[in-house]
A and B are shown apart, each in its own frame.
Chain A
């Protein structure tokens, strides 16, 4: 079983739609749960992070963690063409390392 599973997509939705991106994980030792956004031909950048089960909102973005199911989600409301990117889930392992999902390529069509 892979440590992190993320559907690579691609996912294509119309502008204004609600987008749901998901990851499952198997390692109970993961402490922080993160979402990175990567635009084409750029390095990833941190979008959101959380450390507990529940929801965390930041503008149009909501990160959700369910530790009992080992499942995390990122919701994007009122999606915009500028949200078109690859979204990678990431998990903090110990004090030093991140474990990344495969990434989901998202396209928002005007």
Chain B
């Protein structure tokens, strides 16, 4: 199993550009999450999904959109990139049972200039 994979690893965007961060998991997990991590900070939840076709906002959803058409994929869309979106983005997944161990991808480092 590859676990949770994310692409791209790095990206530089100009202000106002758009992009999609890709996330795929091969563990048949129902729950998937997008977090951002700013330097020296913890993880803040952007969006999450409890199954295909079902998404919900987290703590910091503004400026982002998500979709979940399959169990495996959970892309994150950035529209009109702003410097405040410079961060490391992590995708995670879990079965959703009991203590909810989340399995994280390697992250995407995004810089908006």
A contact residues vs B (CB 8 Å cutoff): 4, 6, 8, 31-32, 34, 41-46, 49, 51, 88, 92, 95-98, 100-103, 105
Which residue from B58, B99, B101, B103 sits with its C-beta under 8 Å from A97?
A: B58
Q: Tell me if A46 and B102 are in contact (CB < 8 A).
A: yes
Q: Tell me if B48 and A96 are in contact (CB < 8 A).
A: yes
Q: Tell me if B90 and A43 are in contact (CB < 8 A).
A: yes
Distance in angstroms between the alpha carbons of A96 and B51 in the assembled complex: 11
Distance in angstroms between the alpha carbons of A101 and B50 in the assembled complex: 23
Q: Tell me if B99 and A49 are in contact (CB < 8 A).
A: yes
Q: In the A-B complex, list the 10 residue pairs whose CB atoms are closest, starting with the nearest.
A: A43-B104, A100-B42, A32-B99, A102-B42, A100-B43, A46-B101, A49-B99, A92-B100, A103-B42, A44-B104
The 8 A CB mask of B25-66 against A (1 = contact, 0 = none) is 000000101000000111111001010000000100000000
Given that A32-B99, A44-B104, A92-B99 are contacting pairs, would A97 and B42 also be in contact in the complex, using a CB cutoff of 8 Å?
no
Distance in angstroms between the alpha carbons of A44 and B92 in the assembled complex: 10
Which partner residue on chain B sits nearest A10 by CB separation?
A: B40
* A6 → chain B closest CB, angstroms: 7
Residue of B44, B48, B96, B100 with most partner-chain A CB within 10 A: B100
Complex interface residues of chain B between 63 and 113 (CB less than 8 A to chain A)? 90, 92, 96, 98-107
Q: Tell me if A103 and B96 are in contact (CB < 8 A).
A: no
Distance in angstroms between the alpha carbons of A4 and B41 in the assembled complex: 12
Residue of B31, B102, B107 with most partner-chain A CB within 10 A: B102
Q: Tell me if B31 and A96 are in contact (CB < 8 A).
A: yes
Q: Tell me if A96 and B96 are in contact (CB < 8 A).
A: yes
Q: Tell me if B99 and A42 are in contact (CB < 8 A).
A: no
Q: Tell me if B43 and A88 are in contact (CB < 8 A).
A: yes
Residues of B within 8 A of A105 (CB): 40
